[in-house]
C-alpha cells in the first residue's frame, strides 16, 4: 500500500516541474522580480537549474520503478549474497518437478520448478536439499536426474544453495 502512494507522489512530483517551467513566465517575475527573472531566463545557469529541476524527479521515479525489477533479474537479496560470498559446490540432480506450492508456474515464460539435489561441497558428507528456482527454458533439457550442476552454498546455512550460472 505504501509503495502505491510513493509511486503516485513520484509521478506527481515528476510532472510538477514541467508545468512550473511551462508557466514560469506568468508567476516567476512576481516572485523574484522582472529584472532578475529576465537575467536568469537568458543565462546558462537558469537553463541548468531548469534541466535539473525537471530531470531529478524523473530519475527518482525511474529508480523507484526499476528497483523491484532488479531483484527479479538478479535474484533475491539473499541469493545475490550467496552468489557473492558462497562456497562453490557441485549438485547432482536427483529429481525435478513442480514447485513446492504445486501446480505449473512460469515467470516471464520461464518455468518455476523444484529441484531436489545431492550437494557435495567438500566440507561435509554429501547431503540433500530441495528448493524452488526459475530455470531458463534453453537449459531445461540439461536438468535431468544424474546431471551435475555448479552451485554456491551459503556459508551460514549449508541447506541454502543457489545455482551458479556463471
At 129-156, the pLDDT tens digits run 998 888 888 888 888 999 999 999 998 9
Distance in angstroms (rounded) separating the CA atoms of residues 9 and 13: 6
pLDDT computed for residue 128 by the predictor: 95
Residue 128, beta-bridge partner list: 118
Q: Do residues 61 and 138 both lie within one domain?
A: no
CA 28: distance to chain centroid? Answer: 40
Q: Do residues 98 and 136 both lie within one domain?
A: yes
**What's the domain count of the chain?**
2
Site of grid cell 541469493: 79
Q: Which of 106, 156, 98, 85 is nearest to 130 (CA)?
A: 98
pLDDT computed for residue 89 by the predictor: 95
Q: Do residues 68 and 89 both lie within one domain?
A: no
Top-confidence residue, 119 or 59:
119
Q: Do residues 7 and 59 both lie within one domain?
A: yes
Could you report the per-residue pLDDT of 74-109, keeping only the tens digit for each? 567 888 889 889 999 999 999 998 877 777 788 788
Q: Do residues 7 and 82 both lie within one domain?
A: no
pTM score, whole prediction: 0.55
Most distant CA pair in the chain: distance in Å? 81
Q: Do residues 82 and 69 both lie within one domain?
A: no
pLDDT computed for residue 94 by the predictor: 95
Residue 96, beta-bridge partner list: 115
Could you report the per-residue pLDDT of 1-54, keeping only the tens digit for each? 455 566 666 666 666 666 666 566 776 677 777 777 777 777 777 677 777 766
Distance in angstroms (rounded) separating the CA atoms of residues 127 and 119: 5
Q: Do residues 124 and 158 both lie within one domain?
A: yes
- Domain coverage including residue 159: 77-163
Q: Do residues 55 and 127 both lie within one domain?
A: no
- Per-residue pLDDT at 68 exceeds 60: no
Amino acid at each position: 500500500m505504501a509503495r502505491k502512494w510513493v509511486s503516485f507522489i513520484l509521478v506527481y512530483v515528476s510532472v510538477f516541474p514541467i508545468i512550473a517551467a511551462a508557466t514560469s513566465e506568468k508567476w516567476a517575475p512576481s516572485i523574484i522580480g522582472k529584472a532578475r527573472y529576465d537575467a536568469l531566463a537568458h543565462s546558462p545557469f537558469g537553463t541548468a537549474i531548469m534541466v535539473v529541476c525537471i530531470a531529478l524527479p524523473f530519475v527518482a521515479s525511474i529508480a523507484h520503478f526499476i528497483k523491484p525489477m532488479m531483484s527479479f533479474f538478479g535474484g533475491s537479496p539473499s541469493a545475490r549474497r550467496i552468489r557473492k560470498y558462497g562456497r562453490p559446490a557441485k549438485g547432482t540432480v536427483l529429481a525435478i518437478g513442480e514447485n513446492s506450492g504445486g501446480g505449473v508456474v512460469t515467470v516471464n515464460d520461464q518455468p518455476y520448478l523444484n529441484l531436489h539435489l545431492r550437494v557435495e561441497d567438500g566440507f561435509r558428507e554429501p547431503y540433500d536439499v530441495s528448493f524452488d528456482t526459475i530455470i531458463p527454458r534453453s537449459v531445461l533439457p540439461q536438468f535431468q536426474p544424474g546431471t551435475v550442476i555448479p552451485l554456491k552454498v551459503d556459508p551460514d546455512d549449508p541447506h541454502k544453495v543457489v545455482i551458479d550460472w556463471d
